[in-house]
Structure 1
Amino acid sequence: MADTASQVLLGSGLAVLSQPLMYVKVLVQVGYEPLPPTLGRNIFGRQVYQLPGLFAYAKHIVKVDGRAGLFKGLTPRLCSGAIGTIVHSKVLQRYQEAEQPEPGASKKEPVSSLEQVLKETSREMVARSAATLITHPFHVITLRCMVQFIGRETKYSGTLSAFATIYREEGILGFFAGLIPRLLGDILSLWLCNMLAYLINTYALENGVSTMTEMKSYSQAVTGFFASMLTYPFVLVSNLMAINNCGLAGGLLPYAPTYSSWLDCWSQLHKEGNMSRGNSLFFRKVPTGKRYVWEERRFR
């Protein structure tokens, strides 16, 4: 119990610190560009037109809403993180309790490393999926609180009132908008990360060498980053579907058409070449073949 409480506190602290970054990222994912491109230099020193990065974007938000404006949507995000951590911990605890040998029972035969990885990954998948399923309504509210910046709305001004608004306008299904691509992305990322780490640790790195042993400790982080890059389109589609046609300016034209499903959203983003929009908040290039429209604060 103490371990879960410490995880909740640590997760809450990280959520507070990363809230401005997530806020800017969500607005960029929607396609909202409040500042026009400026002439700058890329990493090779060449002059190119660039979009404002994280700090310039955040500075604009502070100018409009003050420093507190960077933390819109923080309350439902903290609720989501705390509840998700508890659910995740409880599910894994159930697995551990079920695996405890009964008194007098014979010892189980040791399993291979691959079987162990498959078993642990399967359990982690169930735990994460359960946490995501239960906390997704808070995630939807978090995104909608942030996207209100675009149209200066106050429709989702509080967590409890947001629950009432979504239920009244969209019913139960409104709380789970964008859930399927989010779950798929989480599951694919988890399996890619763990299996790649297993392959690297087993076949690419030699055992018994101190430097290789140290490298193994970093393989999970490296493969996790690689997996998150590959599955980023699922995150983008999930977030766009969570705000799609919800009555906010950021979920309507000209920023986003009304998508019939998450597959329709994926297809249109792919055709537009926007599958990685918002993936990077630094050295942001101007979209090729598009022009900036000041009145709409976006490219088209």
Structure 2
Amino acid sequence: MADAASQVLLGSGLTILSQPLMYVKVLIQVGYEPLSPTIGRNIFGRQVCQLPGLFCYAQHIASIDGKRGLFTGLTPRLCSGVLGTVVHGKVLQQCQESDKDEDLGSGNVQKEVSSCFDRVIKETTREMIARSAATLITHPFHVITLRSMVQFIGRESKYCGLCDSIVTIYREEGILGFFAGLVPRLLGDIISLWLCNSLAYLVNTYALDSGVSTMNEMKSYSQAVTGFFASMLTYPFVLVSNLMAVNNCGLAGGSPPYAPIYTSWLDCWCILQKEGNMSRGNSLFFRKVPFGKTYCCDLRMLI
């Protein structure tokens, strides 16, 4: 019980601290660029047309809505984090107890010790089930969080309160409105988890020498590195999920002429891929605009 409470408190603290970062990231993901680019130089000394980074973007938001405006959407995001932590812990514990019961069900017959790879598969499967359950339960709060942020673009006040947002979504879109963008988000989480754990297993088993004294530390580092690469590879799923969550929801940021109406998340994926925007919002600091293209700040990032 104490562990769950500490996880909730730690997660809530990190959520509050990272809220401005997520706010800026979401606005960039939907293609909103209110500030003109500037001419700068990259690490090779070559001139590039740079879009404003995280801090300039945050200052722009604060100049309009004040510093409190940087924490728009914090309440539903906190609800999502707390509920997700509780659900994840409960489901994971249930899966672990179920596996223990199966092991004890053989009576006095002792099972052979499973191989390391089998253990990785079992642990990853349990984690996948727990994460998927948490994502499924918390996705409605995630949708409300994104829409309350995106309404900054058109200066709307449609999704201001948590209860009012729930009523609005249910009245206009029904139950399915709470799960807009769920499929690519689930797929991204599952693929990222399996990639991370599989790569970590391969690195720890075949690339690291078991005779090294700092083996445990190196294995923990390899887990972090593989997790980073897995998240990079699955970022398009995150982008598509967020775009589908706000698409055609009655806000300027998710409706024509600012954004097209996507018929499905696959349609969104294909359009982004055709435009070369699959990594939009992935970087918040080094954001360049190629020369030879016209910049339009309120309609599209690039035309």
TM-score, with normalisation over the residues of structure 1? 0.96
User: In the alignment, is residue 222 of structure 1 matched against residue 225 of structure 2?
Assistant: yes
For residue 5 of structure 1, what is the aligned residue in structure 2? 5
Within the candidate set 254, 261, 274, 1:251 is matched to 254
Residues 191-229 of structure 1 show CA distances to partners (whole Å, capped at 9, x for unaligned) of 000000000000011102124443212011000000000
Out of 28-37 and 90-99, give the one that drifted further. Answer: 90-99
User: In the alignment, is residue 266 of structure 1 matched against residue 273 of structure 2?
Assistant: no
For residue 111 of structure 2, what is the aligned residue in structure 1? 108
Contact between 1:255 and 1:298, CA under 8 Å: does it hold in 2? no
For residue 239 of structure 1, what is the aligned residue in structure 2? 242
Q: Match for 2:230: what amino acid?
A: A
Residues 29-66 of structure 1 show CA distances to partners (whole Å, capped at 9, x for unaligned) of 00000100001121223322100000000010000100
CA distance in 1, matches of 2:298, 2:280: 21
For residue 87 of structure 2, what is the aligned residue in structure 1? 87
Contact between 2:170 and 2:177, CA under 8 Å: does it hold in 1? yes
CA distance in 1, matches of 2:100, 2:188: 32
Contact between 2:235 and 2:279, CA under 8 Å: does it hold in 1? yes
- Report how far residue 288 of structure 1 moved: 6.0
| CA 70–17 in structure 1, closer or farther in 2 if over 3 Å, else same | same
For residue 29 of structure 1, what is the aligned residue in structure 2? 29
Q: Match for 2:26: what amino acid?
A: V
Structure 2, gaps ≥5 residues long: none
CA distance in 2, matches of 1:58, 1:108: 57
- Report how far residue 256 of structure 1 moved: 1.5
Residues 91-144 of structure 1 show CA distances to partners (whole Å, capped at 9, x for unaligned) of 111122223355993343211000000000001000000000000000000000
- Report how far residue 290 of structure 1 moved: 3.2
CA distance in 2, matches of 1:36, 1:281: 15
CA distance in 1, matches of 2:70, 2:51: 19
SS at match of 1:282: coil
User: In the alignment, is residue 122 of structure 1 matched against residue 134 of structure 2?
Assistant: no
CA distance in 1, matches of 2:122, 2:106: 25
Identity of aligned residues (%): 76
- Report how far residue 28 of structure 1 moved: 0.3
For residue 146 of structure 1, what is the aligned residue in structure 2? 149
Q: Match for 2:107: what amino acid?
A: A
SS at match of 2:48: strand
User: In the alignment, is residue 188 of structure 1 matched against residue 173 of structure 2?
Assistant: no
CA distance in 1, matches of 2:184, 2:241: 5
CA distance in 1, matches of 2:272, 2:24: 20
User: In the alignment, is residue 170 of structure 1 matched against residue 173 of structure 2?
Assistant: yes
User: In the alignment, is residue 38 of structure 1 matched against residue 38 of structure 2?
Assistant: yes
Residues 234-275 of structure 1 show CA distances to partners (whole Å, capped at 9, x for unaligned) of 000000000000000000123310000000000000000000
| CA 153–67 in structure 1, closer or farther in 2 if over 3 Å, else same | same
- Report how far residue 299 of structure 1 moved: 2.6
Q: Match for 2:47: what amino acid?
A: Q
Within the candidate set 196, 199, 203, 2:206 is matched to 203
- Report how far residue 294 of structure 1 moved: 4.4
SS at match of 1:260: coil
CA distance in 1, matches of 2:45, 2:291: 20
CA distance in 1, matches of 2:34, 2:251: 17
Out of 226-235 and 249-258, give the one that drifted further. Answer: 249-258
Within the candidate set 287, 293, 296, 1:293 is matched to 296
| CA 104–195 in structure 1, closer or farther in 2 if over 3 Å, else same | closer
Q: Match for 2:264: what amino acid?
A: S
Contact between 1:19 and 1:71, CA under 8 Å: does it hold in 2? yes
Structure 1, gaps ≥5 residues long: none
| CA 35–200 in structure 1, closer or farther in 2 if over 3 Å, else same | same
Contact between 1:34 and 1:297, CA under 8 Å: does it hold in 2? no
For residue 73 of structure 2, what is the aligned residue in structure 1? 73
| CA 297–59 in structure 1, closer or farther in 2 if over 3 Å, else same | farther
Q: Match for 1:135: what amino acid?
A: T
SS at match of 1:49: strand
